[in-house]
Amino acid sequence: MEAHLDSIGASMARWIVVYSAGQESPEERERLVALLGRDPFPEGSWINLLYVVQRCTAIKRSIREHRYVWYGKDQVRVRYSLEALEREFGIERPVNIRSHSNRYRDLDGGYGQMEVLATAQRSISASATEEEERSLREYCKADVESMFEVAYASEQLLFTRSERRERRRVRS
Residues 51, 88: one domain?
A: no
Residues 47, 65: one domain?
A: no
Residues 83, 127: one domain?
A: yes
Q: Which amino acid is at 115?
A: E
Domain boundary among 40, 55, 70: 55
* Least confident span in 114-123, 125-134, 135-144, 162-171: 162-171
Residues 94, 29: one domain?
A: no
- Predicted pLDDT of residue 172: 53
CA–CA separation, 96 vs 35, rounded Å?
31
Residues 78, 138: one domain?
A: yes
Average pLDDT, the chain: 88
Within a 10 A sphere around the Cβ of 123, how many other Cβ atoms?
A: 15
Residues 153, 102: one domain?
A: yes
Segment 29-54 shows an average pLDDT of: 89
Segment 103-107 shows an average pLDDT of: 84
CA–CA separation, 147 vs 168, rounded Å?
18
What does the pLDDT look like over 51-101, one tens digit per residue? 999 999 999 999 999 999 988 777 778 889 999 999 999 999 999 999 998
Residues 62, 27: one domain?
A: no
Would strands 45-48 and 15-18 be described as parallel, antiparallel, or unpaired? parallel
Residues 146, 82: one domain?
A: yes
- Predicted pLDDT of residue 107: 76
- Sign of the C-alpha dihedral, residues 54, 111, 91, 151? positive
Residues 100, 164: one domain?
A: yes
35 by DSSP, 3-state: which?
helix
Provide the number of structural domains found in the chain.
2
Residues 70, 50: one domain?
A: no
Name the band, by pLDDT with cuts 50, 70 and 90, for residue 170.
Answer: low
Residues 42, 118: one domain?
A: no
4 by DSSP, 3-state: which?
helix
| End-to-end CA, the chain | 23
- Predicted pLDDT of residue 49: 94
- Domain carrying residue 23: 1-55
* Alpha carbon separation from 103 to 63, 76, 150 (Å, rounded): 14, 11, 21
Q: Which amino acid is at 149?
A: E
pTM, full prediction: 0.83
Which range among 45-49, 69-73, 106-110 has the greatest average pLDDT? 45-49
Percent of the chain beyond pLDDT 90?
50
